[in-house]
Amino acid sequence: MNNPKNNTLTPYPRRQLGGLEVSALGLGCMGMSDFYGPADDTRNLAVLNHAVDIGINFLDTADMYGVGRNEELIAQLLKTRRDEVVLATKFGNVRAADGSFIRVDGSPEYVRAACDASLKRLGVDHIDLYYQHRVDRTVPIEETVGAMQRLVDAGKVRYLGLSEASAITIRRAAYVAPIAAVQSEYSLWTRDMEDEVLPTCRELGIGFVPYSPLGRGFLTGAIRKPGDLSAGDWRHHNPRFQSDSLDQNLALVDAVTALADQHGCTPGQLALAWLLHQAPDIVPIPGTRRIERLDENAKAATIRLSSDELRAIRDLIEASTVVGTRYPQEHMGAVNA
C-alpha cells in the first residue's frame, strides 16, 4: 500500500455509476446542515469549493437535510460551478419545519412536488441523480419509480436511484425504469449489503454508493468516548455509540488503526480504500466539514491494496463483533425495505 500526496497535475480518479461519470469518492453533505452539531456555512462552502477544486465532483444531498437548508447551501456553489458538479439529491423523508419527522412518502404526487421543490432550492433546471431516500412501504415501488421516470422524461432528472432498498425492491424497481445507483450504509463495520443487495446490483448493472463509509466517523479513530461528540450530535442516540457498545467497538478501530499504521496511512484512508477495492462501480461518499479531512479522504482513491492485504482486512473484520444496530430500533424498519 502506498500513501500518495495530492498532485494537482493528475486528474482525480473517475468511476462509472450507471451512466454517470463521477469522482471515485464523492462528498456527503448531510453533516454540513444537520445531525452533527453546529456548523458554519462559510466554512462549509469553502469545503465544497475545495472538493470541486481537487476533482471531487459528486455531491450528495437530500431535501430533508436541514429541512432544505443543505440544498440551499449547495445552491451557492452551483451558481458558479454547476457544470463541474454531478448533483445527487433525494426525496421521501418528510420533516416538519422544526425538523421533526412526519412520514415517508413515495406517492407519485409527492415525487413530483418534492422534485420541483428541490430544483427551486438548488437553483438548477435538472438533477443528475435523484434517489428515493427511503422506501414507502404503503406505496408499490412500481408507482414511485414510474413517477420518478416521468421526471426523467420531463428533463428534470437525468438518472434514478434508490436508498436503503432491499434486493427484491431493487429488482421490482429496475423492471419499471433503469436504476443507476443504490445508496446504503456500507463500511468495515456495516456489511449486511454484501448478502443480497450488492450481488443484485452487480447482476443488474447498478452502481453502489456507500454512505457513512467511515462508520459515522468512528473508523477514523477520532471518537473514543461519548464526550468526544458535541451536545447536539445525533450519534448520542445511535446504539453503536452508547458507552458500553462504544467500548467494545473500539477493538475494531484499534485493529484497523494498527493495520493502517503498518502501511503509512490513516485508518480512515484504509477504510475508504478497502471499499473502493470491493468493485469498480462502488463510490463512497464520506462527509466532512474540514478541508484537511477532505484532503485526507481524497488520497484514499489512489491507495492500492494487494490481495494479501485485502485478505488480512477481511479476516480482521470477520473476526470482529460490532455491538449495536446501526440505527435506534424504531428506525430499523426503514432500512433494507
Mean local confidence (pLDDT), 244-248: 90
Nearest of 217, 160, 220, 209 to residue 185 by alpha carbon = 209
For residues 30 and 65, the answer to whether their CB atoms sit within 8 Å is yes
61-72 core/surface letters (b: 16 or more CB in 10 A; e: else): bbbbbbbbbbbb
Helix ranges (H only) for the chain are: 41-53, 69-81, 108-122, 141-153, 167-176, 197-204, 243-262, 267-276, 291-298, 307-318
- Torsion, CA 15, CA 35, CA 291, CA 305, rounded to 10: -40
14-48 tens-digit pLDDT: 999 988 999 999 999 999 998 777 889 999 999 99
For residues 226 and 304, the answer to whether their CB atoms sit within 8 Å is no
The set of catalytic residues is 65
Distance between CA atoms of residues 226 and 243, nearest Å: 7
For residues 95 and 122, the answer to whether their CB atoms sit within 8 Å is no
Instruction: Determine the pLDDT at residue 7.
Output: 42
Domains and CATH numbers, the chain: 14-334 (3.20.20.100)
Residue 76 confidence (pLDDT) above 80: yes
Mean local confidence (pLDDT), 251-280: 95
Residue in the block written with cell 447536539: 232
Mean local confidence (pLDDT), 71-95: 97
Distance between CA atoms of residues 200 and 198, nearest Å: 5
302-317 tens-digit pLDDT: 999 999 999 999 999 9
Instruction: Determine the pLDDT at residue 233.
Output: 86
291-303 tens-digit pLDDT: 999 999 999 999 9
C-alpha angle with apex 169: 110 to 275, nearest 5 degrees?
Answer: 105
Residue 287 confidence (pLDDT) above 80: yes
Mean local confidence (pLDDT), 127-138: 97
- pTM for the structure as a whole: 0.94
Rg (CA), the chain: 19
